[in-house]
Amino acid sequence: MSVKSFITGIPDIADMDADKERENILDFCDIGRDILTHPRYEEMKGYNHHGEISCHFHTLFVSYITYKACCHTDCNTVEATRAAMLHDFYLYDWHITKHDELHAYYHPKEARKNAEHYFGKLTDLQTDMILSHMWPMHLMPPKSKEGMILTAADKICASLDFMGLSNKFMPIYERINEVVSCYENN
Ligand SMILES: [Fe+2]
Ligand SMILES: [Fe+2]
């Protein structure tokens, strides 16, 4: 795997084993099937996150990188991938809806609350991953390798969003949506 593909979590064309990638996408979707097919999760398609990038796209980009990175380590891939899918599950447009606290500090708590409301109790690992994902903007560093991977993936994707380079993820995003549609039609 090249440095570039490690950073983005997506294989370069030269590295790409299309069958393996399709297998990874199916495994990723199976891990979060209940989350990905939930109407409140799909609602994130309507919330702008960074510029034109929706919260749904961003969250799946971050989750897929987290999934790929965890697969290459001894991390808990299932718990980490599900936590990553829910890290920005705050369900409002932060450009419009304002709270007493700044969005950067408020939204991880809202995401955790919504995650437990719709998908049941989170583990301690997942709770910490979601609450700490904005580190170092706040003073609560992640306590786990999974949490460090999530916060790094979040920064990488946000940077790519702002640079207009997130389209690299579009083919995988579209494939994930196809798999989710198949779940919903069966
Ligand atoms: Fe966030
Ligand atoms: Fe995020």
CA of 186 to the centre of ligand 2 (A): 30
CA of 134 to the centre of ligand 1 (A): 6
Copy the structure tokens of residue 118.
């719709």
Please give, one letter per residue, the 3-state secondary structure of 45-85: HHCEEECCEEHHHHHHHHHHHHHHHHHCCCCCHHHHHHHHH
- 3-state SS assignment for residue 1: coil
All domains in the chain, ordered by first residue: 20-185 (1.10.3210)
Residue from 42, 43, 126 nearest 81 by CA: 126
CA of 70 to the centre of ligand 2 (A): 17
For ligand 2, a single-atom ion, the residues with CB < 5 A are 88, 154
For ligand 1, a single-atom ion, the residues with CB < 5 A are 88
pLDDT in tens, 4-60: 554 455 544 345 577 888 899 999 999 999 999 999 999 999 998 877 889 999 999
pLDDT in tens, 62-100: 999 999 999 999 999 999 999 999 999 999 888 888 788
